[in-house]
């Protein structure tokens, strides 16, 4: 009887040890599962906009360091570490989405559709941060002066956000209204600057008054280039789109020649034709006067 009682007790004890081990293993599996679930969830949370912009800065900074102000240095280092974690594709796709809107000149309704489609395609970054503001600075010209290069250099800075394409609001699309114009702008956080560039503003006579009506505090940036080289660049672009265009000389001079032969019957020979747009744009002083005549800009034009 004694042995009989002892054996079952021994077996029960053995089973208890086994169940303890299995409970322990089950707990390890559950904890591991929970750990992976939680880390996976964190990965899918939207990143702050500032992180995303660091991607843009990183991608474009191929020639050397960007000189950030003291207040941005800590943030810049933090962004670099974030960069290693983020998949490039997601960040960049969403980052350029707003520029794409401007590129396609979409009205605000279509823009909303684009944002919806990005969320439905499981792009995890959010482009709802910040607000759309009118540009505080506009590169108004000159055409073929290197305006694209300047804008791209400026937008490397994380606090500069710019429309990718030329909005042409103050010359072509003014009748669409200011709200349409603002809808083209990228979202910005406090302290960030909104910019755009449309070189044809410089030679649009209504543009100074229109920009001033939007805000008299808007900073204007004009990049100038040797007017002859600029005209040649302008002509080359037109020629590439218009085969059969008359020669540069034929267009640049009245009567189509630079020669001022004394035997010529025409007194117009050798006179530059300022009515030709490639030349007219290069008469910088004339256009600049129109901008400077608008009160405040007399002092603050860059």
Tell me which residues touch ligand PPS (CB under 6 A).
143-149, 199, 233
225 annotated among ligand-binding-site residues: yes
Quickly count: other Cβ atoms within 10 Å of residue 59's Cβ: 14
Three-class DSSP labels, 237-265: HHHHHCCCCCCHHHHHEHHHCCCCCCCCC
Per the residue annotation, which of 132, 144, 176, 241 is the catalytic one? 144
> Minimum distance from CB of 228 to ligand PPS (Å)?
11
Minimum distance, C-beta of residue 271 to ligand PPS, in the bound complex (Å)? 25
Any catalytic annotation for residue 144? Answer: yes
Taking the least distance from each CB to ligand PPS, the nearer of 146 and 270 is 146
β-pairing verdict for 193-197 and 137-141: parallel
The reply, when asked if residue 197 is annotated as ligand binding, is: no
Helix or strand run (H / E) with residue 251 = helix 248-252
Residue 290, classed as helix, strand or coil, is: helix
Residue 148, marked binder: yes
Taking alpha carbons only, the member of 142, 193, 138 closest to residue 169 is 138
Q: Can you state the percent helix, strand and coil of the chain, rounding each to 5?
A: 55, 10, 35
Q: For the beta carbon of residue 127, count every other beta carbon within 10 angstroms.
A: 19
User: Closest separation between CB of residue 270 and ligand PPS, Å?
Assistant: 25
Report the relative pairing of strands 131-132 and 187-188 from DSSP bridges: antiparallel
Tokens representing 45 are: 């949370």
| CA pair distance 7, 9, nearest whole angstrom | 5
Instruction: Judge whether 58 is annotated as a binding position.
Output: no
**CA atoms of 132 and 99, how far apart (whole Å):** 12
Cβ at position 84, least distance to ligand PPS in Å = 31
Residues 6+ apart with CB under 8 A from 102: 163, 164, 165, 167, 184, 185
Is 103 known as a binding-site position? no
Q: Rounding to the nearest 10 degrees, give the CA dihedral for residues 14, 15, 17, 23.
A: 170
Smallest gap from Cβ 100 to ligand PPS, in A, equals 18
Binding positions for 3'-phosphoadenylyl sulfate are 144-148, 225, 233
**Residues carrying an active site annotation:** 144
Binding positions are 144-148, 225, 233
């Amino acid at each position: 009887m004694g042995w009989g009682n002892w054996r079952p007790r021994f077996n029960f004890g053995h089973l208890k040890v086994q169940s303890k081990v299995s409970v322990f293993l089950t707990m390890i599996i559950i904890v591991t599962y929970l750990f992976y679930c939680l880390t996976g969830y964190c990965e899918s949370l939207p990143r702050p906009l500032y992180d995303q912009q660091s991607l843009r800065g990183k991608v474009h900074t191929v020639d050397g360091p960007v000189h950030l102000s003291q207040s941005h240095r800590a943030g810049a280092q933090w962004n670099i570490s974030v960069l290693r974690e983020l998949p490039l594709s997601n960040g960049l796709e969403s980052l350029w989405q707003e520029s794409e809107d401007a590129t396609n000149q979409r009205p605000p309704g279509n823009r909303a559709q684009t944002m919806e489609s990005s969320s439905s395609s499981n792009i995890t970054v959010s482009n709802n941060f910040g607000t759309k503001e009118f540009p505080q600075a506009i590169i108004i010209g000159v055409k073929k002066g290197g305006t694209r290069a300047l804008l791209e250099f400026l937008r490397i800075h994380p606090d500069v956000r710019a429309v990718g394409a030329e909005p042409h609001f103050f010359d072509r699309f003014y009748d669409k209204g200011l709200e349409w114009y603002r809808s083209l702008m990228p979202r910005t956080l406090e302290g960030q600057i909104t910019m755009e560039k449309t070189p044809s503003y410089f030679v649009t006579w209504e543009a100074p008054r229109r920009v001033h009506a939007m805000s008299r505090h808007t900073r204007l940036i004009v990049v100038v280039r040797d007017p002859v080289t600029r005209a040649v660049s302008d002509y080359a672009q037109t020629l590439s789109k218009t085969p059969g265009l008359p020669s540069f000389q034929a267009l640049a001079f009245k009567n189509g020649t630079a020669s001022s032969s004394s035997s010529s019957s025409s007194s117009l020979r050798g006179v530059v034709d300022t009515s030709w747009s490639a030349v007219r744009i290069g008469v910088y002083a004339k256009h600049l006067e129109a901008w400077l005549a608008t009160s405040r800009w007399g002092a603050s034009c860059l």
